[in-house]
Chains A and B, each alone.
Chain A
Amino acid sequence: MGSESESPSKRTWVARAAGSLAVLIGTRKGAFILRGDKTRRSWKLSKPMFLGHIAHHLAHDPRDVRSLLLAARTGHLGPTVFRSSDFGKSWKEAERPPAFPKAPEGQKGLVLDHVFWLTPGHATQPGVWYAGSSPQGLFRSEDGGRTWDGVSGFNDHPMRSQWTGGAGDGTPDGPKLHSINIDPRDPNHMYIGMSSGGVFESTDGGKDWKPLNQGCAADFIPAPDPEYGHDPHRVLLHPLMPDRLYQQNHCGIYRMERSEGKWIRIGRNMPNSVGDIGFPLVLHPRDPDTVWVFPMDGTEVWPRTSPDGKPACYATRNAGKTWQRLDKGLPARAWFTVKRQAMAGDVHEPVGLYFGTTSGEVWASRNGGASWSCLAGHLPEIYSVEAAELK
């Protein structure tokens, strides 16, 4: 596995690999792993893991390559996290899963409905993981997911309720904290996204947070240019250019250069007939100007299917000035949705892309989206897709 020239202890990002890889799939009815060889032409689907569990996110630890964490619950049972140190052969449940603190007598406390998001921590902090939840909460583990504590600087922040809009405000299946980004230069510098709430930044390891939404539309809020209350669907910083952020928002596709401090709606350059609404967002591992999105229909009642039922990925190679439609091999007509955590890229050359659909298909491209093929079908509704580079 190749890596950037800087010391791995200082940089999390592996920018190029040529070995075998795996696609990690979280679904409404359990988790699956697609194992691929280094050519990315031969794939083998695992048996279901945790069949019947709602697997919100199956995430890989690139620091030790073998560890996986799974955010799960069932229709009846409360939320938990399972962890594997042998790439899914065996699992153990977290001994203390993420949970909000018990409220003082007579007060109403938050109840964690589900863990929605899992992100491994900085390269210099092995064993550290972060989790985002519904309702919006941020949690941290320092022992590889065995025990979890709330990040009090966020969960108990006096503005949290206002930032998130309270319990009644959020996406139809529950308000969520997602898109946890750690600055590869500084483990104390973090970004999160909240639906609803917006993008927030911490520069002190999560002790305090500030909204970072200037320039981003929130056309569902009566007030013009609100400071918070936005609906980012996916937020990413580029590991090789960490002062550049991208987000796929409820109200379009945006880029921010931190030196400018303002979101620019690069989705305005998408074709009008397609628009710039969608859930997922993928960055090129070696080119901060290249971004892939998967647009969806955000008109009227928000079908969230592809515009006109014609699935397509779109790519920009110039940081959003122009966009190219990439649909070769995809169905001419289909009515699935690609959820916010259900699209990912690998770090091979050319870059491989993977997305999962609500209709249970996994699609892949070995050439940066130029052509697509279906790797797996007839799976349950897909909630998350991650590409894991193996040694």
Chain B
Amino acid sequence: MKVYIPTPMRSYTNKKSVVEAEGPTVGAVLEKIERRYPGFRFRIIDEQGAIRRHIKIFINETPIRNLEAASQPGDAVHIVCALSGGI
């Protein structure tokens, strides 16, 4: 499936905006991306396994709340830096 990478994370993906990875859950997909691009996962998932506060992940158009969310071949995973104000 296609995983869409936000600009702040593209330093890890050799500037790629989309990477391909498969897995039965979003967590498994991210583990595969981590193996390919070390350091990727911890910037968006904390050490307790939660999606960081200002990161949102969607499967297709549905936001997910945890990494156990199921994913299927053909899905699109969007990693989004949430609009959360800022200075």
Q: How far is the CB of B4 from chain A (nearest CB, A)?
A: 15
Q: Is A103 in contact with chain B by the CB < 8 A criterion?
A: yes
State which of B38, B43, B87 has its C-beta within 8 Å of the C-beta of A78. B43
Contact flags A94-134 to B (C-beta < 8 A → 1, else 0): 11010111110000111110000000000000000000000
Residues B47 and A75 in contact, CB atoms below 8 Å apart:
no
Residue pair B8, A100 in contact (C-beta under 8 Å): no
A213 beta carbon closer than 8 Å to chain B: no
Q: Which residues of B contact A359 (CB under 8 A)?
A: none
Q: Interface digits, B29-46 against A, CB 8 Å rule (1 contact, 0 not)? A: 000000000110011111
Tell whether A305 is near chain B: CB-to-CB under 8 Å.
Answer: no
The answer to whether A76 and B47 have CB atoms under 8 Å apart is no
Asked whether B48 lies within 8 Å of A102 as measured between CB atoms, the reply is yes
Shortest C-beta distance, B14 to chain A (Å), equals 14
Kindly state the interface size class of chain B when it binds its partner.
20 to 34
Interface of B (DSSP majority class): loop
> Which of chain B's residues have a CB closer than 8 A to the CB of A109?
47-48
Contact among B8, B9, B39 with A95 in the assembled complex (CB-CB below 8 Å) = B39
Query: In the docked arrangement, what's the CA distance between A99 and B49, Å?
Result: 12
Q: Which residues of B contact A94 (CB under 8 A)?
A: 39
Please name all residues of chain A whose beta carbon is closer than 8 Å to the beta carbon of B55 when the two chains form the complex: 76-77
Which of chain A's residues have a CB closer than 8 A to the CB of B50? 111
The yes or no answer to A67 lying at the interface (CB within 8 A) is no
Let me know if B44 and A78 touch, CB within 8 A.
yes
Complex: A367 Cα to B5 Cα, angstroms: 51
Question: With A75-B54, A75-B86 in contact, do A80 and B48 touch (Cβ < 8 Å)?
Answer: no
Q: Are A78 and B42 in contact (CB under 8 A)?
A: yes
Report if A289 contacts B (CB, 8 A).
no
Q: Is the CB of B46 within 8 A of A76?
A: no
The verdict on A93 contacting chain B, using a C-beta distance below 8 Å, is yes
Say yes or no for A152: interface residue by CB 8 A criterion.
Answer: no
Q: List A residues 251-308 near B (Cβ within 8 Å).
A: none
Q: Are B8 and A77 in contact (CB under 8 A)?
A: yes
Contacts of A78 in B (CB 8 A): 42-46, 52
Bound-complex Cα distance A112 to B46 (A): 8
CB distance from A15 to the nearest CB of B (A): 39
- Let me know if A95 and B38 touch, CB within 8 A: yes
Task: Please report the C-alpha to C-alpha distance between residue A80 and residue B42 in the assembled complex, in whole angstroms.
Answer: 9
Mask: chain A, 63-92; 1 = CB below 8 Å from B; 0 = not: 000000000001111101000000000000
Residues of B within 8 A of A103 (CB): 48
In the complex, per-residue mask of B1-38: 1 if CB is within 8 Å of any chain A CB, else 0: 00000101100000000000000000000000000001
Contact B47 A80 (CB under 8 A): no
Best-buried of A75, A78, A99 by chain B (most CB within 10 Å):
A78
Complex: A28 Cα to B38 Cα, angstroms: 25
Chain A residue with the shortest CB-CB distance to B52: A78
Q: Is A99 within 8 A of B8, CB to CB? A: no
| Selected contact of B48 from candidates A75, A95, A111, CB within 8 Å | A111
Cβ of B81 under 8 Å from chain A: yes
Contacts of A77 in B (CB 8 A): 8-9, 43-44, 52, 55, 81
Per the bound structure, the CA–CA distance linking A95 and B42 in Å amounts to 11
Q: Which residues of chain B are near A74, meaning CB under 8 Å? A: 8
Distance (whole angstroms) from the CB of A70 to the closest CB of chain B: 14
Given contacts A76-B84, A99-B42, A112-B47, 16 further A-B contacts (CB under 8 A): A75-B54, A75-B84, A76-B52, A76-B55, A76-B81, A77-B9, A77-B44, A77-B55, A77-B81, A78-B42, A78-B43, A80-B39, A94-B39, A97-B39, A108-B48, A112-B46
Could you write out 6 A-B pairs with CB less than 8 Å apart? A77-B55, A78-B42, A78-B43, A80-B42, A97-B42, A99-B46
